[in-house]
Structure 1
Amino acid sequence: MSLAFTYFCVLFAAIQWGANFNLAIPVVAEMPPVVAGATRYLLAALIMLTLTYIRGEHVPLRHARAYIVLGLVGVFGFNLLFFLGMQSTSAVNGALIMALNPLLTALIAWATIGERLHMRQWLAFPIGLLGVAIVVLGAGAHLEISHGDILIFLASLSWAAYNVCVKKMMPTDTSGIASTAAIMTVGALALTLVALLSGEQFVMPGQHAAIALLIMTIGGGVLAYLCWNAGIRRLGAGRAAIFLNLVPVTSMVIAAMEGVPPTTIQLTGAALVIGAVSFASWPRQQPTASPSAAT
């Protein structure tokens, strides 16, 4: 894979994830949140299982415990909170809150598995949190946080916990595609079970919402994951993480194109969050003479 194509892959993934926040608005307007999540991941799991089969692979049952935990935390928990939150917050607010995720992941990893935090992360976290606070509190005009903003923050915490669980639990003797197929299947089944138990109806959305959900499934789900993993293998997690700053930027651009430009408060919060994440994620310079730097 050429370096140019690698950058295209991570760029594509970040843009798709940013667009997900805007695409979710028409979806949750026509579908119950848990049904939207279940439908999205039933389709995504089917695609990933098909890819696994085409590649002549299978999902090993010996890793069932890991797949169940990862599926419940990363697919079920995140998507339930995400779609519930997007019912009562804006796409830009949601994207800005989620932009804090790299710092939340680092903090949870430090608290749960003892992963070391470097000084830049300690300095960046309160700045990023301040940026999010400015966005959700309206710069202090009224100290009130919307229900949707809280749910999106909880969704970000769920995704951060998933990232840490992946480091600890993801099988290393199975391909990423097979493992992802299993994780998506667990999450899809859990979302479907909750939807059925809650009495929600699986409805066929209108054309606009259906297209949005399909783009979220294929572009912002399957393809974004495959592109992101390909990019990380070439660039490393640190360099690739810089591209995550495009998530809120993409959402802002799309919202502006739809006639809802970002407010001054959102732009201020975005500058703080993006600046903090960039400062914390930018790869540190390694001594050239160090043996570890050569690897």
Structure 2
Amino acid sequence: MSDSSSAAATSARERPPLWLTAAPGLFLLLWSLGFPVAKIGTQHVDPLLFLGLRFVLVLAIMLPVWLWLRPPMPTRLSAWGHQAVVGFLIQTVYFGCCYSAFALGSSAGVVALVVSLQPILVALAAPAMVGETIGTRRWLGFGLGFVGAVVVILGRSTVEGITTGGLLLTIAALLGMSGATLYEKRYGQPLHPVSANLIQYFTGLLTTLPLIVLFGHFTLDWDGALVGSLAYLVIGNSLIAISLLLAMIRRGEASRVSALFYLVPPCAALFSWWLIDEPMPAVSWLGMAIAAAGVALVSRKPRNRQA
């Protein structure tokens, strides 16, 4: 085989699959839309009960799929434990705290802004926890992304849309997702997405049930808004977006994946303006452009220099 043919074959093998190339954009849209949709849902049901219903519906879909596909489950107890930890941090801590913050009156845009601080936390912890090196260009990207996110939210004049309790819950959600990203990158192992989701959502249900019993209210208003919110969060957020997030974490550096969260506030602001009439003034569009530039800096891989 000639050198050119060998190089072409190597390039084809190294080229990521099409679905993985499209994963960042699809994840961003699905994840961002989840903020206003979740706020709509928490207006009709207790947030903890809402979370529990979501887990039950996801498991009702995942179990038959698992029985049909029969994908392998972890063979070691430690691997089960690692999946359970990630499931608890994402499903119970992150989503539970976000939903509760919405129920306390926090706006979707402000919650999205606070959790967008995740890339900073991941970047600070990544060198020690997962051995990543954060260069000057990527730190500049983090800074631009954060500035853009702040411009979007402040431009919408919704900072007052959060209570002290809501702020504390949102910070807890931020810590939960940041911890899950780093933990998955360090301890996560290749596992079929159906198996990983099954373990994580079962963990989420088990750890949320005591909270529902202790702090939840068993009243809900079954109407089109609640049913639609549940349907989207089950399929869009729970089944598709989480699978894309875990796949991207395993295939890329944790800090690069986390940088996507800088685009969540402007996208969530746009969806919130459309769905729940949270205003989107002109200055916020400038913030979206700044955040996009920051993510581009962080996400761009350095070119290999040839001798």
Relative to the length of structure 1, the TM-score reads: 0.78
Superposed CA RMSD in Å reads 3.7
The answer to whether residue 29 in structure 2 is matched with residue 11 in structure 1 is: no
Does residue 93 of structure 1 match 2:110?
Answer: yes
Q: Which runs of 5+ in 2 are unaligned?
A: 1-14
Asked if 1 retains the 8 angstrom alpha-carbon contact of 2:256 and 2:298, the reply is no
* Residue range with higher mean Cα deviation, 19-28 or 234-243: 234-243
Letter in 2 for 1:261: P
Q: Between 56-65 and 66-75, report the one with greater CA deviation.
A: 56-65
Q: Work out whether 1:250 is the aligned partner of 2:245.
A: no
Number of equivalenced pairs: 288
CA distance in 1, matches of 2:177, 2:195: 20
How far apart, in 2, do the equivalents of 1:9 and 1:134 lie?
Answer: 26
Confirm whether residue 64 of structure 1 aligns to residue 57 of structure 2.
no
Cα deviation, residue 227, structure 1: 4.6
Matches within 5 A, 1:1-295: 6-60=20-74, 62=77, 63-87=79-103, 88-133=105-150, 146-147=163-164, 148-172=166-190, 174-201=191-218, 203=220, 205-227=222-244, 247-258=264-275, 259-263=277-281, 266-267=284-285, 269-288=287-306
Structure 1 distance, partners of 2:175, 2:187, is 18
Q: Contact 1:72/1:190 (CA < 8 Å) preserved in 2?
A: yes
Q: CA deviation at 1:20?
A: 0.2
Report the equivalent of 2:11: none
How far the C-alpha of 1:129 sits from its partner, in A, is 4.0
Alpha-carbon contact 1:89-1:146 (below 8 Å) kept: yes
Q: Provide the secondary structure at the position in 2 that maps to 1:30.
A: coil
- The C-alpha deviation readout for 1:263-282, integer Å capped at 9, x for no partner, is 35644554444433332222
CA drift at 1:132: 4.8
Higher radius of gyration, 1 or 2: 2
Change in 2 beyond 3 A, CA 1:235/1:137? closer
Deviations 1:127-154 (A, max 9, x none): 4444555566679999997433553343
Deviations 1:230-264 (A, max 9, x none): 67788887887776565344323323334433135
Amino acid at match of 2:301: P
TM-score w.r.t. structure 2 length?
0.76
- Give CA deviations for 1:147-190 in whole Å, capped at 9, x if unaligned: 33553343123111101000122234x42321221012101211
Q: In the aligned structure 1, how far is the partner of 2:159 from the partner of 2:234?
A: 37
Q: 1:156 to 1:200 in 2, by over 3 A?
A: same
Long gaps (5+) in structure 1: 290-295
Q: Percent identity?
A: 22
